[in-house]
Amino acid sequence: MIELPDYRPQVPASRLRVGLIGAGAIAGSAHLPAYAAWGIRVTAVASRTPGPAQELATRFGVETVYDTVTELLRDPEIEVVDLATGPTGRLDLIEAAVVNGKHVLAQKPLSIEEAELPRLFDILGVARERGLRVAVNQNARWAPAWRLATLLIRDGRIGDVVGVTHLHDKPLPPLAGTAFDEMPHMLLSDYLVHWIDITRCWLEGSQVTSVTAQDSRVPGQPEAARNPWHAALQLSLSTGASASLRIVGNAQTNAGGCPFWIHGTEGTIRGSVLLGSDFVELDRGETRTRFALEGQWFTDGFAGAMGELLSAIEDDREPENSAAHVAASVRIGLAATASAQANGSPVHPVDLDLTPATVRRNAA
């Protein structure tokens, strides 16, 4: 019998007051429902337009609605800021929160511009000097199947990771006519951020030596859909390990999900996430163990990301999803976009180590 690691979100009985910035669809469908379910205290909300913020506050019992983001950031009773906004101006908001003495959970992608990274590291340096924690809402790290796979790898259940493979076997969300469709190479620069990030976690302890990515339009893709619907990404690592991520297009299936395989020197983990496909199976030696899972990525993953930040604040440590740690995922995504822009030519990042200590040194 294999003991099941505790893969559920770890949310402390914290009385820290959280202020939410942003009142869009994701705030109402994921952030606030997750926090309500797991007892995370949100006491204020602000957005660029007061109407949606007021509606959210009424629906979820949030005490205070501020007319401006600045007012929320200046509230001395707010200790943690949850940035549920788009990527434009994200570093400005992180910096403003840090200047006002707030811990931060920032929505992903943390950055979509290589030129922003030096400024990000400067902000993180200021936060560190002030004893503040800056984390990223990489909520998929706490999707039950992916979280359990992470813990099994950490426990050495499959030895050293040899390869990671992801297949997107489900329809794409509506993209044509949305703001996402205006982003160059959107599947690589935004949509696949969670897949890139979890792959980075599973390959911890190695260095990325090559990133190759392609995207293209697919048969039947409507003209109104500006971004390609196919994307593929390959990583080569200093250890000889590799990773592959593939979106074939708007898959037409009623029984899909997002299957993944993690092959190691001593065993294999296989599983799936989304659309009710969630499972994890450990295949080692003569034994195959399939684990029953509790919970869902949406919305438990959001509780996991915030819960890890709150736990880190209470324990006076860096959160697993610290901005410094996620910076390596950002660099992989930027390299993938650059490769696609160059028609699939490999990009060879310099010093892209997937180790927490190295990432923190680079952020210093």
Tens-digit pLDDT string for the chain (364 aa): 678 999 999 999 988 999 999 999 999 999 999 999 999 999 999 998 889 999 999 999 999 999 999 999 999 999 999 999 988 899 999 999 999 999 999 999 988 888 999 999 999 999 999 999 999 999 999 999 999 999 999 999 999 999 999 999 999 999 999 989 999 999 999 999 999 999 999 999 999 999 999 999 999 999 999 999 999 999 999 999 999 999 999 999 988 999 999 999 999 999 999 999 999 999 999 999 999 899 999 999 999 999 999 999 999 999 999 999 999 999 999 999 999 999 999 999 999 999 754 333 333 3
170 & 274 share domain: yes
218 & 151 share domain: yes
275 & 359 share domain: yes
Stated as kind and residue range, the H or E segment containing 125 is: helix 117-129
Residue 240 lies in a domain: yes
Range of the domain at 104: 18-138
Number of separate domains in the chain: 2
CATH assignment of the domain containing 65: 3.40.50.720
pLDDT score for 356 = 58
Q: Rounded distance, CA 68 to CA 100, Å? A: 15
Q: Rounded distance, CA 197 to CA 143, Å? A: 12
187 & 133 share domain: no
pLDDT score for 164 = 99
249 & 347 share domain: yes
Out of 116, 138, 160, a domain closes at: 138
112 & 23 share domain: yes
42 & 144 share domain: no
Out of 77, 104, 138, a domain closes at: 138
Residue 7 lies in a domain: no
249 & 337 share domain: yes
194 & 337 share domain: yes
Residue 293 lies in a domain: no
CA distances from 345 to 35, 113, 178, 337 (A): 43, 19, 29, 11
Q: Rounded distance, CA 212 to CA 282, Å? A: 29
pLDDT score for 360 = 38
